[in-house]
Amino acid sequence: MNKVGYYKRNSLPLEMHKVCIVQKTSILPVEDRVKAIRRAGFNSYRLESDECYLDMLTDSGVNAMSNEQLGAMMIGDDAYAGSVTYRKLSQKIKEIFNKDYFLPVHQGRACEHMLALAYVKPGKLVPMNFQFGTSIGKIRYCGGDYIICLQEEGFDKQSGNPFKGDFDLAKLERILQEERDRIAFVRIEAGTNLIGGQPIALDNMLAAAELCKKYGVLSVLDASLLQDNLHFIKTREEAYMDMSIREITRILSDAMDIIYFSARKLGFGRGGAIILNDEKEFEHIKTFVSSFEGFPTFGGMSVKEMEAIRVGLDDTMDENIIAQGPQFIEYLCNELEDAGIPVVTPPGGLGCHLDALKFVPHIPRNQYPAGALQSAVYIASGARGMERGSIDEPWDDPEVEPYGAMELVRLAVPRRVYTISQMNYLIDRICWLYDNRELIGGLKYDTEGPHQFYAPLNSISDWPEVLAAKFREDFGESL
Ligand SMILES: Cc1ncc(COP(=O)(O)O)c(C=O)c1O
């Protein structure tokens, strides 16, 4: 990994790429940012991307591609069947994951859809270290349910545990013993999105897979966030520090029955993949891919994207490339933490997560602290993050509004997209916001629930305008 020392200046994460194509961006004046977030119903999903100076909503499908990926996209083979592009991507997957069979689908949730159709029947159960919205959606749609087996420390927002995404293995084994006949498969999410992109240790995943073998159930790895997780195994897990990323990937892959991933994240592209070794299971899942996604040589993906993923997967095996995201996130988290701002620790993958319950403790939970903070971050900086709290929580019971397990604002760091100076700008604006946090007020819905996570809200009082006026007072003419 890039370990470049500095002579006089403080050490900074150092990009191991140079920019060849750029996209123009601009910052709206603070008054226009208030108008934009108001028009968007205080919901960052509803902002236009050209209203955002830093688009940190997600890392999905927004990672910068390399010149080699763009070049490869020009040689995609559009043949419906017998496609050379499919063959080349299958070979790359075999080389990296040592799995014989590969089914392309249009994105990560399509993998989850196919697996749920293949294995989840009414009454079936899927144990997992933690849930992700799209994963449980498909399981429930097929009449099954899920059960979370995350270790207790995974729920601690501030912790020194390097692998908060680990399974509570005793709980997993108890479920496997007691519910053996109901288990569709065990889902292992590496890293763990909704608890702050926190990684799971390789030893823990191997132990979970071993338990699956012992009880005769399928182990299924959700490798969508594997890129960051591989970096953390290499840098935090003693036993694997001397191994290459390829060797670590191979050990993990060999232990799993099925691997799937969103290639909007892993592989710097846009698409999805299901990979496995068992021919019978492959044929079984393939029938669903043919019916719902596309012919099994492209499964709804464009061949251009398949070529980009082939090259992107190679990049994923390069330590310098995969270190960039986690190093930027670590920088962001450490700088904010040093300024006394509550963030989820230790820094994980995917993005930096602000802890809204500590940032704005005066906002009650029924006024959506994470949603309010996300809007305030936008007003202060023009950066849009994502609410990861009660607004995002699906309503199981239409009569009872759910609270999220956490109230976080995720500032995703799309890989290779932003620079350190842009991160420094954001840190500065969040520091200003923290000093003025008492001006941030709550949000409310103007309509009865249940609400979808992208539904519009309204501000309680004119706090956005008051916050903007204070910004103008402190920053003068500055954007
Ligand atoms: C862990 C995990 N699994 C699955 C998905 C779904 O992938 P997609 O957005 O490509 O459907 C995501 C997307 O954020 C994810 O983070």
And the tokens for 447?
């309509």
Shared domain check, 52 and 72: no
Shared domain check, 373 and 429: yes
Q: How far is the CA of 59 from the centre of ligand 1 (A)?
A: 10
* Count: domains in the chain: 2
Shared domain check, 339 and 201: no
Q: How far is the CA of 475 from the centre of ligand 1 (A)?
A: 39
Question: Of 316, 333, 361, which residue sits at a domain end?
Answer: 316
Residues of the domain holding 340? 30-59+319-475
Answer yes or no: is 4 within a domain: no
Instruction: Calculate helix-pair angle for 226-236, 319-338, nearest 10 degrees.
Output: 80
Shared domain check, 418 and 352: yes
Beta bridge pairs of residue 167: 150
Q: Which ligand 1 atom minimizes the distance to the CA of 134?
A: 6
In the predicted structure, residue 57 carries a pLDDT above the cut 70: yes
Mutate to test the pocket of ligand 1, among 132, 353, 415 (most ligand atoms within 8 A of CB): 132
Q: What share of the chain is helix, strand, coil (3-state, %, to 5)?
A: 45, 15, 40
What CA–CA distances, in Å, run from 196 to 130, 181, 188?
Answer: 11, 32, 16
CA atoms of 24 and 22, how far apart (whole Å): 7
Question: Of 316, 349, 365, which residue sits at a domain end?
Answer: 316
Answer yes or no: is 24 within a domain: no
Amino acid at 442: G
Q: Which ligand 1 atom minimizes the distance to the CA of 225?
A: 1
User: Which single residue is written with the structure tokens 């009880």?
Assistant: 215
pTM above 0.85, yes or no: yes
Q: How far is the CA of 32 from the centre of ligand 1 (A)?
A: 32
Answer yes or no: is 8 within a domain: no
In the predicted structure, residue 2 carries a pLDDT above the cut 80: no
Q: How far is the CA of 465 from the centre of ligand 1 (A)?
A: 35
Mutate to test the pocket of ligand 1, among 139, 262, 392, 453 (most ligand atoms within 8 A of CB): 262
Average pLDDT, the chain: 96
Shared domain check, 71 and 48: no
Shared domain check, 251 and 163: yes
Render pLDDT for 371-403 as a digit per residue (tens, 0 to 9). 999 999 999 999 999 999 999 998 889 999 999
> What is the CATH number for 124?
3.40.640.10
Q: How far is the CA of 77 from the centre of ligand 1 (A)?
A: 27
Contact 426, 408 (CB under 8 A): no
Answer yes or no: is 371 within a domain: yes
Looking at residue 212, its pLDDT comes to: 98
Render pLDDT for 311-367 as a digit per residue (tens, 0 to 9). 999 999 999 999 999 999 999 999 999 999 999 999 999 999 999 999 999 999 999
Ligand 1, atom 10: closest residue by C-alpha: 108
Shared domain check, 123 and 38: no
Answer yes or no: is 111 within a domain: yes
Write the burial class of residue 207 (CB in 10 Å: 0-12 exposed, 13-18 middle, 19+ buried): middle
Shared domain check, 220 and 332: no
Answer yes or no: is 93 within a domain: yes
Mutate to test the pocket of ligand 1, among 189, 224, 266 (most ligand atoms within 8 A of CB): 224
224 close to ligand 1 (CB < 6 Angstrom)? yes
Label residues 358-393 b or e (16+ Cβ within 10 Å = b).
Answer: ebbeebeeebbbbbbbbbbbbbbbbbbbbbbbbbbb
Shared domain check, 230 and 123: yes
Answer yes or no: is 84 within a domain: yes
Contact 373, 409 (CB under 8 A): yes
